[in-house]
Structure 1
């Protein structure tokens, strides 16, 4: 089923970038629809605590995105539940956004705000035990490891934040770091060092995991000594949490945009791709910092750029 409406703008993704773009598009009186395949919020919903968003000193990811969504809806923003399967262009430089189930949308401009998905660490057995001892979300699964040891793979900000969150539940939190240092911000490193539940293992990787229905064995490889240490226990007696980055969800527009080596979309400062009328915002973009505030900023810039592209600039 194809909608007969020709929208000024279709926004794909209802995370901070998409919702911010929708708010600014609404202010510019652009006819807009936001398409989201799950619940509004994206990766933000997995964040238990947000304490670096200006003006909101302490909140949860769910509460923050709920406030954003309510603000957008109060401005008349429409969010449809839809999984986009493809984007194509027409001879008159419009876009057709096709969704699973046969629905499609027509638009003069598109903002891709599809975010990213967790990157796999790549050790043997990882795929086999996802949801059965291996997780990519401390908020979702931390409670299952109350008074049990957990192993956190990664040394960046996300890994540090999630490791600190896991100390609420776990008896011990072991950080598995391939390099000889943590890449997280100094304030986070200081918190890790002061927490007696946290143990950091530098120059160490997971070589493989084993088990039956649930994880029962974990093999740690010391990169300096080449020593392998086997951690074993009853099914469900320990868990592995992987935080080694994100994979940008850019597949939809790879034919219309340039991608960097990670698969993130390269845009100019106006969030524009090489295809007129196609813009990107948030974690799907190639950028130096992926945070809620930078996603929201991208969305505002992208919507303002769309308004200008369509001849309806937003007043400052």
Structure 2
């Protein structure tokens, strides 16, 4: 593939989703006018081969869709609805020569954008020696002040919008299988997935397909004091809220692990690690003043899976975890993009 082929692929895949200022992806950006009374929400994210996804660990289309979903998750955590995004793609010759894989990645991204009418505002193409990476800057708008990390107060309840640990457990299964016998083709990987138990397939698919809570985020405006999506792991992301807000927190382990099997001590340790420190679940963690807790009932009745897991306190940046009568400190041991090795 040459540059013109890539531009044509993007233009065709995003038909109807190209902002008028994008000029078929030939412009780096576009002028965007938010609706009256709206506040802009902006987030940026990197997505790289051999770090965020690997060949034959799921399809390229799944990887492309996940790249968009994790950015939509950032908007959800700010209580925003999507407007559009810019897309910087850096591609090696290996990826360009594997045109089918690259095309599938772009098609997967476009499919998720189409589901949410997320417009492509522009972008840039570059070359790198090995692999493939994309950088996305997404823009949304929100009524009122929106949501952030810094406004939690002591004695507020802490809530999750879904279960934790499934994505990490799915990734662990893939890594263990790849270590025993490397995945060298999509059919080989798909056969392995189909041979897993129903529960294990659910975990693997949760990791590969990604997730976002865009439907919930804007409902939390004016209700939640602070909010974040769980991308780096509960221990790390809750510490971000506590540091930014100047509060501490206490958590109960039991409600966090009750949905996962713990039949042996080793399995219990794996589950606890996945729930507390595993990332990429992309559910929302948020704090709510006790006076507003009853307002969550309408969201629960509407089908949102909300679970109370603890509360904030005055112990700045200190998080305690309570389990079976024991208390221990919870340190931020989740994903660290800089100290990987």
Query: Is the TM-score greater than 0.5?
Result: no
* TM-score (norm. length: structure 1): 0.24
Q: Which has the higher helix share?
A: 2
Greater share of residues in strand: 1
